[in-house]
Amino acid sequence: MAADCDIAVVGGGILGLATARELLDRRPDATVVVLEREHAVAQHQTGHNSGVVHAGIYYAPGSLKARLCVEGARDLYEYCEEHGIPFERRGKLIVARDDGELGRLDELERRGRENRVPGLRRLDAHGLREIEPHARGVAALHSPETGVVDFAEIARSLAREFEAAGGRVEAGCEVTGIAPRNRRVGLVHARGETRAHFAIFCAGLWADPLAVRAGADPDPRIVPFRGAYLRLRPERADLVRGLIYPVPDPRLPFLGVHLSRHIDGHVSLGPSALLAPTRIAHSLAWPGTWRMARRWWRTGMRELRHAANTRSFAREAADYVPELEAGDFSRWYSGTRAQAVARDGALVDDFVLSETERALHVRNAPSPAATSSLALARLIADRAEQGLD
């Protein structure tokens, strides 16, 4: 492989690939290379998630998440249509189980309207059953534009397009060192060294060690959270038509355990949210992890119960669809979220980018970053172009 290039992107998930494609589209004569540690693209978060194209309801108005999710969902549907990638606008219900959840549902509705989420409607107990006949609750928000897709398939399509335009994806190429090299940035990896005019790090779970190696502040640190899913028996899958979500705890960046009918027709329940064993020593060495644990220990205990006992996890589903029983579910896949945690223990809510010399780092890109990927890639490319010029 060539030792020099104009732009190197570290990470072959949906974000790295969307960014590489965007930059090559803007600069067709540039040499752009993606360095990916695994044997193929989309092996981490991009290939192990809920597969939901979010519509932009939850996010604080004015935040990057709010803007880029609404924009990104529109672009993603267009991209799928153009490239023949299957998707379905299945529609989502966010269900309030009792009057105690109505205040939080009101706030979600306010955010959704301010974020200009298309087609958002408020439903009463009767109205929600017209959308999901087996669901129960006192009220709901319905988002008809929320959909499902396979994000890994989109990532593979982005990689193919990028390579057809002259870009290179180098798999099995873990970057282990970063050093300045005579007006370039040197990336030391499994197959030698690549020197780039500019480097962009979209490394998910490994974002912070790479950023720190390039000279960035260690705050925030990525703390991996494992999200496990259960699968509903196919004979019972008719009980769920689309996506049924709880009213989430507004203090947490997670949307809560939900029922989703995937693009392949299977119905999942999940994800859980438990501190992941991946790089656990790194997580425990961060003061923010302990501060977070002190604040959220009750939630952590519930998650531990779910991890140990499928039946207790499955019972969450009956809160929304009473006909569902614990025996209807079996263990399925899991994914690990790259969630940034600040030194003070706060879970960082918005997307975060930061810069070092000749490099840009994506420091926090949790959900809905897959939905937002094409819009987020434009923002990253704008920032990278400033650095390049």
Ligand X SMILES: Cc1cc2nc3c(=O)[nH]c(=O)nc-3n(C[C@H](O)[C@H](O)[C@H](O)COP(=O)(O)OP(=O)(O)OC[C@H]3O[C@@H](n4cnc5c(N)ncnc54)[C@H](O)[C@@H]3O)c2cc1C
- Residue 386, sorted as left (phi over 0), alpha (psi -120 to 50) or beta, turns out to be alpha
Please report whether residue 35 would count as binding ligand X according to CB under 6 A.
yes
Closer residue to ligand X in complex, CB, 242/271: 271
Q: Which of 368, 375, 377, 378 binds ligand X (CB under 6 A)?
A: 368
Residue 353 contacts residue 54 (beta carbons within 8 Å): no
| Residues in region 81-100 near ligand X by CB under 6 A | none
Taking the complex as a whole, the smallest distance from the CB of residue 308 to ligand X amounts, in Å, to: 19
* Three-state DSSP state, 203: coil
Burial class (CB in 10 A: 0-12, 13-18, 19+), 120: buried
Token pair for 86: 């299957």
Q: Segment near ligand X (CB under 6 A), from 88-96, 204-212, 306-314, 316-324?
A: 204-212
Pick 10 or 317: Cβ nearer ligand X: 10
361 interacts with ligand X by CB under 6 A = no
Task: Tell me: does residue 374 bind ligand X (CB under 6 A).
Answer: no
Stretch in the footprint of ligand X (CB under 6 A) among 29-37, 83-91, 245-253, 306-314: 29-37
For Cα atoms 33, 50, 108, give the angle at the middle one, nearest 5 degrees. 110
Stretch 244-273 residues interacting with ligand X (CB under 6 A):
271
Which residue's CB is nearer to ligand X, number 11 or number 167? 11
- Residue 147 lies near ligand X (rule: CB under 6 A): no
If one asks whether residue 206 binds ligand X (CB under 6 A), the answer comes out as yes
- DSSP assignments along 75-106, one per residue: HHHHHHHHHT--EE---EEEEE-SGGGHHHHH
Q: Are strands 359-364 and 192-201 parallel, antiparallel or unpaired?
A: parallel
Residue whose structure tokens are 């920032």 = 383
DSSP 172: S
Q: Out of 25, 114, 174, 193, which residue is the one contacting ligand X (CB under 6 A)? A: 174
- The pairing of strands 32-35 and 52-53 is unpaired
Looking at residue 277, its amino acid is P
Nearer to ligand X, 14 or 32 (CB): 14
Instruction: Check residue 143 for interaction with ligand X (CB under 6 A).
Output: no
Rule CB under 6 A: say whether 140 interacts with ligand X. Answer: no
Residue closer to ligand X, measured from CB, 96 or 370: 370
Distances (CA, A) of 194 to 189, 308, 335: 8, 45, 30
How many CA atoms does the CB half-sphere of 8 hold within 13 Å?
A: 28
Task: Report the DSSP beta bridge partners of residue 34.
Answer: 9, 169
Site for ligand X contains 365 (CB under 6 A):
yes
Q: State the minimum distance, in angstroms, from the CB of residue 194 to ligand X.
A: 11
Nearer to ligand X by Cβ, of 34 and 139: the residue is 34
139 vs 142, which CB is nearer to ligand X? 142
Binding range to ligand X, per CB under 6 A, among 39-47, 235-243, 313-321, 324-332: 39-47
